[in-house]
């Protein structure tokens, strides 16, 4: 597996593994616990070093799963987790439909809880999952910086933050990575966030790089998703939006076939071509898909191929917002 460098010299595999779908949000095809652990370990065998989880995934269960998977292999892993969504510490219910807490006291408590669940002594990359509009970012990042001083965290990150917030945060303590949704159908970061990252020397970690699995071409009808799957409620998977987005996927599949790769590999290779400090974290529930995705690290696209992709998937091509109204209020703050 090729490697890339995020901010502050954090070296990681060119493609990481997003672990959320192994136990949270995407119920369609979710593996049994033992199979999920085996998938994470297979990713490590294939050279993946960056594993991404969060305390809210489950809640709590995803961190435990990842901790179990890396037991005895800690030295192979750049471990990333996130905090900020306040939830019942018993791990059952989200509070207030996703209340965000970036207060200094919560930062410390959330980190210690994650360390315990993961079974590790430090977190390599600790993200604020969403910006707390009620707490100055300087206060939140100041508390995160104290975790670095305590040896509990090595690098800091933000998720779904605006360029202005990134600049304010970086002035308090160096930020190593920004994590936001970025793919052929979610290109908003190109407007301000990616330029700010380049200017400040911050790496960029796209989550949902395959459009929540849609860009793979696997899903053809809303009925392909289980009744309790998160995507059932996403605007991009509703009615006319679904049909319009499916037409986009078919064009991507045609380009991929012409190149002799899968749609997923084309979409990931496109992301890797955007910047040498971009490190996508595709998730999957199947080992075969994992191996397919990781092969994208060796796909190099020509200028002509990149232009052809731009022709079918320009900025703003996706139909529908990527979250519902409440979710969209929590991004780009």
- Report, as residue numbers or ranges, the catalytic residues: 57
Count of residues making up the chain? 333
First-residue to last-residue Cα distance in the chain: 34
DSSP assignment, residue 49? Answer: -
Separation of alpha carbons 260 and 103, rounded Å: 50
Number of other residues whose CB lies within 10 A of the CB of residue 169: 27
**Across 182-287, where does the E strand assignment appear?**
203-207
Partner residues linked to 177 by β-bridges: 157, 203
**Across 88-173, where does the E strand assignment appear?**
123-128, 153-159
Rg (Cα) of the chain, in Å, rounded? 19
Counting Cβ atoms within 10 Å, is residue 314 exposed (0-12), middle (13-18) or buried (19+)? exposed
Separation of alpha carbons 56 and 62, rounded Å: 8
Question: For residue 184, which of 296, 49, 326, 295 has the smallest C-alpha distance?
Answer: 296
Separation of alpha carbons 206 and 272, rounded Å: 10
Phi, psi (rounded to 5 degrees) for 260: 85, 25
Separation of alpha carbons 326 and 318, rounded Å: 19
Separation of alpha carbons 177 and 126, rounded Å: 9
């Amino acid at each position: 597996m090729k490697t890339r460098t995020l901010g502050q010299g954090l070296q990681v595999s060119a493609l990481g593994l997003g672990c959320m779908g192994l136990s949270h949000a995407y119920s369609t095809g979710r593996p049994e616990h033992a199979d999920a652990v085996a998938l994470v370990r297979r990713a490590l065998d294939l050279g993946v070093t960056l594993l991404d989880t969060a305390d809210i995934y489950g809640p709590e269960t995803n961190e435990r799963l990842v901790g179990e998977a890396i037991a005895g292999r800690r030295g192979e892993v750049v471990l990333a987790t996130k905090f900020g969504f306040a939830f019942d510490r018993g791990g059952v219910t989200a509070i207030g439909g996703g209340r965000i807490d970036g207060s200094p006291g919560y930062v410390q408590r959330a980190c210690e809880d994650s360390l315990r669940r993961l079974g590790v002594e430090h977190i390599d990359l600790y993200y604020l999952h969403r910006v707390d509009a009620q707490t100055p970012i300087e206060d939140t990042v100041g508390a995160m910086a104290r975790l670095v001083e305590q040896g509990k965290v090595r690098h800091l990150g933000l998720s779904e933050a605006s360029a202005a917030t990134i600049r304010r945060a970086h002035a308090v303590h160096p930020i190593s990575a920004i994590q936001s949704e970025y793919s052929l159908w979610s290109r908003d970061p190109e407007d301000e966030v990616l330029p700010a990252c380049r200017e400040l020397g911050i790496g960029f970690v796209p989550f949902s790089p395959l459009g929540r699995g849609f860009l793979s071409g696997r899903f053809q009808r809303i009925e392909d998703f289980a009744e309790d799957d998160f995507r059932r409620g996403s605007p991009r998977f509703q009615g006319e939006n679904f049909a319009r987005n499916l037409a986009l996927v078919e064009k991507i599949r045609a380009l991929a076939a012409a190149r002799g790769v899968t749609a997923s590999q084309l979409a990931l290779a496109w992301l890797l071509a955007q910047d040498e400090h971009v490190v996508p974290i595709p998730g999957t529930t199947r080992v075969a898909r994992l191996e397919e995705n990781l092969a994208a690290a060796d796909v190099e696209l020509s200028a002509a191929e990149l232009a052809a992709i731009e022709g079918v998937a320009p900025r703003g091509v996706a139909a529908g917002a990527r979250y519902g109204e409440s979710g969209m209020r929590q991004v780009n703050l």
